[in-house]
Structures are given as structure tokens and as C-alpha cells.
Amino acid sequence: MASYEYDLVVIGTGPAGEAAAINAAKLGRKVAVVEMRDQVGGGCAHKGTIPSKALRHAVKQIIEFNTNTLFRVIGEPKNFSFPQVLKTASEVIAKQVMLHTQFYARNRVDVFFGFARFLDPNNIEIIGSEGSENLRFEQAVIATGSSPYEPEDVDFSHDRIYTSDTVLNLKHTPRSLIIYGAGVIGSEYASIFAGLGVKVELVDNRANLLEFLDVEISDSLSYHLRNNGVRIRHNETYKTVIADDTAVSIELESGKRICADMLLFCNGRSGNTKNLGLENLGIETNSRGQLEIDQRYQTSVEGIYAAGDVVGWPSLASAAYDQGRSAATDLLGLPGVRFVDDVPTGIYTIPEISSLGKTEEQLTAEKVPYEVGQAFFKDLARAQISGEVVGMLKILFNRETYEILGIHCFGDRASEIIHIGQAIMNQKGDANTIEYFVSNTFNFPTMAEAYRVAAQLGLNRARQVNN
């Protein structure tokens, strides 16, 4: 068995693992990363963020082609299969793998491919296709990500039952689809398949879609999903799942039965900690395989850190980068560690959603005197030019101090638009007020102009009430 020594070993090459490894390497540490796949990038590049967003973009282009009268002069609306759309995602994945491989090479981070298992707090064994290797280390970061939750009473080996990972292997376009679980992933795939003309049944075990969102935004998403042919069933949980050669059916606890060509099960995710040898460290996980960490991303064992989806919330690629970087910063004994607990939400449905800060419901419960400024995309010149008129920007601010309390955006490029408000919202003192958007000039026509429109309307309402 070959043996190597490192200052830091990182398990996982997704956003959290990459950020931790490269941060440490740039500061002179000898670093190795271990990846269970045969390519770097982790679940983010191969199964999650990158492929699903590439799929969404391709479907959005198809919708535009089939609805834009300019294109319909050329020919009749066209149908595209799911495998055809997947080709776009495959091309993006290949580019991402090449890019991230170069990152490791440029920073002289050694990459090992295989399954890692802790032997003790300073040694791991890597079992690969060509045998096993031992890595001795001073410190380690667990950034193994997560996988779709698979309850034991559902037969995921059946060729009509998929998860958000295995759906990327789908070789045909189903005529009808049941999506069980209406969280972020379920809602995104409902948009994607509905955009391809698939009849979608979205089963939600809650009373509203994405209940952590502002209610007005959640309602808007529900409306547009239904408008695109998605049937949403709230407050439902499955009792049994039965699949055969012709169809798959779900019997719900309410007594209803739904049948379709295919089932996509999207009811949560579990941390990738199975067979990691955590018992040799004395580290335990919760029921979903996730690790408990402190405010510095350290586990219960000194020198062993964890970051990314394996620690649970917020389970976002954007947050994982910052978590991995902060974990490395702390293990190197440097200042500037940030516990990531305030991040914008980006949901890539059609149309997309992004949110930051408090919702109206939270502010009402907290009895905060707030006011609302809104700008509807249909009234913006840039949206009218691009034809993307669905959506709005909503700013919540303190009626008395004008401090920005929450920003919620629904519509095309929402996840980009939110960052303008984020920059102002995170300023200190008097700089964090809605007045910024009316005291500075925005390019015209732009989508950013939504901030000026929303702020002006909101301030007018606040001043009227205050007077």
C-alpha cells in the first residue's frame, strides 16, 4: 500500500472541498483532495447545480422558440426530447470538469480518485480501481456533499422510478410524470418537464409551495406552474408506491391514487457519510447522515472540519464555497472566519426566484413597522424589449428608518438582480436604506431600474403614512 503525507486532506471536490483545498494551498500548505468519481467537480458539477441549471436554460430557450411570433414565422413550434436537452448539460459539465481540473493542477493540489475511509484522526485509506493508498494528514475537511433521500419502501431500482441524480440518465421523454416533493429541486424539475410538454403532477406535503419564501412570491410560482400545466397537490404524503411495466402509481394517505409514466422522488437529501469510517473518529451523524459543526466548521474532533451539503442547511453551492474557504481559514489559524448564515436564495424555476432577508410574514409576526416597494417587470422598458415581462421586485423596509429588511424577486434573471440590493442591504449604518435607489442614477433601460421604481413607490407610501 502506497503511503503519502499531507498537511491537509480534503474529501470531496465540490464547491466546499475545492474552496478549502485551494485556500490552504495558496497559503503554502501541502494539500490533497479525494474524489469518489473519476472526475473532479463533485455532485454540484455532475448531478446537481450545473446539469439542472443547464437543463433549465435549454428548456427556457425551447419555450421562447415555440412562443415567440418572430420565430414562428420561420416554422411551426418544435418538440424536443429530454435526451436532446441533456446534451447541453453534458457539454457544460465537460467544460466545468476541465476548468476545475486546471484549478487543482495550477495550485499543486494532489488529486486522488477512490473511496476514502478514516482509519483514525490522522489517517485515511483510499480504495480505488487500482488498489488502495494511505494518506497521513495533520488536518482534514469532510466535504462529501449529499445524495437524494431514498426511503426503503420505494424501489429505486425500477426503471420508472428516479431521483434527481438518476434522472440525468433518462433516455426518453415521459408523457406524464409524478414529482413527489415540492421543495426547490422538485419545483425546478416541475418547470423543466412542463416546459417540454410533459404532464406533471407535483405532490407537496406542505400547505404552500416553498413555505420559506414570501407568500406573494410563493403564490406567483404556484400560479405560473399551474398556468404551464402542472397539477399541484398540497398536504399530501405517500402511502405506497407501485410500479410495473406500464406505469407507476402512488397511493396517498388521503386515499387518492395518482398514475403516470414515471416518478421523480425529490423528498429531501442525505449527507454522504456512509462508510466514511466516522466511527473510527467518534463522530456521529443525525438521521439524515449530516454532521454537526461549530461556528468555525469544526466537528467534535479537533482538526476534523466539515463544510457544504454534508452539514445540512443551507445546502447551496454558493454557500458551500464560502463554508469551505472559512473552514480552511480557521484550520490555518487565520482571522476572517465567517459562519455562513445569511445567503440569498436562488431557485431556478421558470420564472426564477431569489430572496434575501425577512419576509412580510416574519416582519408582521415580529411587529416591525415596515412598508413595501414593488416594481412589476411588465412596466419596465427593458423587460418589454426582451419580452420577459413576467415578474416583480419587492423591497421591504422599515417605515420609520428606511432600513432595508428584505428583498424578493420573481422573474427572469432574479438571481442576478438580487445582488444589487444585497450590496446595499449589507452596508453599515445609514448607508443601508431604500433612499439609495432614488438618490443614484441607474442605466436606462435596464432590469436594475426595478430598484428605482420600487423604492420611489415605497417611499411615497411610507411618507404618506408617516405624515
Instruction: Dump pLDDT digits (tens) for 38-72.
Output: 999 999 999 999 999 999 999 998 888 887 777 66
- Bond from prior residue into 314 cis (ω within 30 degrees of 0): yes
Residue from 218, 226, 227 nearest 408 by CA: 218
- Give the pLDDT confidence score for residue 78 in this predicted structure: 66
Q: Do the two domains 2-147+270-331 and 161-267 of this chain adopt the same fold?
A: yes
Does position 87 have pLDDT exceeding 90, yes or no? no
Question: Would you place residue 74 in the very low, low, confident or very high pLDDT band (cuts 50, 70, 90)?
Answer: low
Helix (H) or strand (E) holding 189: helix 184-195
The phi and psi torsions of 246 (rounded to 5 degrees) equal -110, -25
Distance CA 36, CA 273 (A): 12
Interior angle at CA 291, CA 285 and CA 296, nearest 5: 150
Domain regions of the chain by residue span: 2-147+270-331, 161-267, 351-466
The CATH classification number of 2-147+270-331 equals: 3.50.50.60
What torsion, rounded to 10 degrees, do the Cα atoms 87, 90, 94, 97 define? 170
Q: What is the pLDDT of residue 81?
A: 86
| Sequence-ordered alpha helix ranges (H) in 68-158 | 69-72, 82-106
Neighbours of 73 (CB within 10 A): 7
161-267 architecture in CATH? 3-Layer(bba) Sandwich (3.50)
Give the Cα separation of 305 and 17 in Å (integer): 11
User: What is d(CA 230, CA 228) in angstroms, rounded to the nearest whole number?
Assistant: 6
Q: Which residues contact 47 (CB under 8 A, 6 or more apart)?
A: 164, 165, 168
**Tens-place pLDDT, residues 342-387:** 899 999 999 999 999 999 999 999 999 999 999 999 999 999 999 9
Q: Are 409 and 393 in contact (CB under 8 A)?
A: yes
In this predicted structure, the answer to whether residue 222 has a pLDDT above a threshold of 90 is yes
Percentage of the chain lying above the pLDDT 90 cut: 89
The 10s digit of each residue's pLDDT in 417-446 is 999 999 999 998 888 999 999 999 999 999
Q: How many helices (H) and strands (E) does the chain have?
A: 13, 22
Say yes or no to pLDDT of 162 above 90: yes
Rg, Å, the chain Cα set: 24
Burial profile 162-185: b = 16 or more Cβ within 10 angstroms, e = fewer: bbbbbbbebeebbebbbbbbbbbb
CATH no., domain 351-466: 3.30.390.30
For 279-359, where are the E strands, in sequence order?
A: 304-306, 345-347, 353-357
| Side chain identity at residue 138, one-letter code | E
